[in-house]
Amino acid sequence: MAKKSLIQREKKRQKLEQKYHSIRRSSKEEISKVRSLSDKWEIYGKLQSPPRNSAPTRLHRRCFSTGRPRANYRDFGLSGHILREMVHACLLPGATRSSW
């Protein structure tokens, strides 16, 4: 189980990303429309003004049940370890067991 503080930090990053998503998208659209280099630099400056944690690259997928940040399967939202346990317990329909 991941530490509660790390999970809360990740939730805070998700909220920040949603808050600043429209600002980032509009700034990037402006950059593609503008031709002069000096105007592009000004817009790049605006892109750097939001907080760092609002960037989508800072987000990290975590396991739905344990909060583990590594070895996550996007289709299930679970880490590999938990996914294997659930498949062996027949809790995921359609998933086949393997011995690894």
What is the residue extent of each domain of the chain?
1-59, 60-99
| pLDDT of 99 above 80 | no
Q: Which residues does 67 contact at the CB level (< 8 Å), separation at least 6? A: 1, 2, 6, 7
Superfamily in which the 60-99 domain is placed by CATH: Ribosomal Protein S14/S29 (4.10.830.10)
Residue 63, pLDDT score: 92
SS3 content of the chain, % helix, strand, coil (to 5): 55, 5, 40
Mean pLDDT of 25-50: 91
Residue 98, pLDDT score: 73
Mean pLDDT of 74-84: 91
The model carries a pTM of 0.69
DSSP string of 44-64?
Answer: HHHHHSS-GGGSGGG-----T
Weakest mean pLDDT among 38-42, 61-65, 96-100: 96-100
| pLDDT of 92 above 90 | no
